[in-house]
Amino acid sequence: MTTTSAPPANPRPKRRPGDRIFAGSAKGAGILILLILAGVAIFLVTESFPALTAPAEDVPGGEGLASYIGPLIFGTLMAATIALLVATPLAVAIALFITYYAPRRIAAGLGYLIDLLAAVPSIVYGFWGIAWFAPRLVPFYQWLEENLGFIPLFAGPASATGRTMLTIGLVLAVMILPIISAISREVFSQVPSLHREAALALGATRWEMIKMAVLPYGKSGIIGGAMLGLGRALGETMAVAIILSGSAAGITWALISSANPQTIAANIALQFPESTGLAVNTLIASGLALFVITLLVNMLARWVVNRRADFSGAN
């Protein structure tokens, strides 16, 4: 709104109606998203307030809010971390293959397929996980227990059903794989040919060109895609609820046993229908925890991206 440079005879620059309508609607949309976010936050805080202040023995489990939500947070983070660790490198590799290695005709089809996978509802992955994937993982878990059982992560006894934390992590990985690779693919294909040719002209092989020009340029895009994937993994409800229903252990590092902590979202889905009173407030408090975790993770990612903003290639 500053008009310092305008001549005194015409203090206000002419404003065209189109500009004003667009600026107004854009501003309105921006305010709306803030209002919605604030509304959600206020709802979560006020509704979880009774649980936050309730005496420990009234909270479900009878040992206070922290020991109720703690394992849930742990389970949520564990499942999401496994998913992200498995999915991100794979997704980046897929995206690189599609953009720089596959013959053009195959690449188009593959890209379409990846986008399609991103649209499959999560319940389908959940069914697939429990009915097909979990049983097939059992021998693998037994092998892990026998050979790597000394590592706490793979401590036995291995689950006989395959419905374990690791299975969840892997199913979530499959679920978030398409979204991460779709976004990475988009970013990789936008690397200016100027930069790619700079690398090639220095005598870079294709892989060296990718290391020099493509991956650094696409880093913020990869992180952005991974965050979207992580958001989906953290909040995923049905797939986790189906696979882990029944088991609700405390904090445990064992990934392949049948005793697993639930995740926040799945726990809410499983418990909510039968909850009343303070139990509902407790569930909402766990939702608040999920909200805060998601916020923190996104801020962390933004910080990582901005840390070297000068080098992002955006200028």
Partner 1 sequence: MAKRIDVSDLDIYYGNFKAVEGVNVSIEPRSITALIGPSGCGKSTFLRSLNRMHEVIPGARVEGKVVIDGQDLYGADIDPVDVRRQIGMVFQRPNPFPTMSIYDNVVAGVRLNSARMKKSDMDDLVERSLKGANLWTEVKDRLNRPGSGLSGGQQQRLCIARAIAVQPEVLLMDEPCSALDPISTLAIEDLMTELKEQFTIVIVTHNMQQAARVSESTGFFNLNGVGQPGRLIEFNPTEKIFSNPDQKATEDYISGRFG
Residues that bind partner 1 (CB under 8 A): 104, 192, 194-195, 197-205, 208, 212-213, 216-217, 219, 310-315
Q: What are the phi and psi torsion angles at 304 (to 5°)?
A: -60, -45
162: Cβ–Cβ under 8 A, 6 or more apart, which residues? 133, 134, 135, 136, 137, 138, 141
Q: Taking the complex as a whole, how short is the minimal distance between the CB of residue 240 and partner 1, in angstroms?
A: 37
State which residue, 134 or 213, has the beta carbon closest to partner 1. Answer: 213
Q: Taking the complex as a whole, how short is the minimal distance between the CB of residue 229 and partner 1, in angstroms?
A: 23
136: Cβ–Cβ under 8 A, 6 or more apart, which residues? 162
Question: Distance between CA 307 and CA 305 in Å, rounded?
Answer: 6
Query: What torsion do the CA atoms of 124, 125, 126, 131 make, to the nearest 10 degrees?
Result: 90
- Residue 314's SS3 state is coil
State which residue, 27 or 308, has the beta carbon closest to partner 1. Answer: 308
Q: What are the phi and psi torsion angles at 171 (to 5°)?
A: -65, -45
Q: Taking the complex as a whole, how short is the minimal distance between the CB of residue 253 and partner 1, in angstroms?
A: 37
State which residue, 274 or 310, has the beta carbon closest to partner 1. Answer: 310
Residue-wise DSSP of 121-146: -HHHHHHHIIIIIHHHHHHHHHHHHH
Q: Taking the complex as a whole, how short is the minimal distance between the CB of residue 104 and partner 1, in angstroms?
A: 7
State which residue, 119 or 201, has the beta carbon closest to partner 1. Answer: 201
State which residue, 219 or 302, has the beta carbon closest to partner 1. Answer: 219
Q: Taking the complex as a whole, how short is the minimal distance between the CB of residue 311 and partner 1, in angstroms?
A: 5
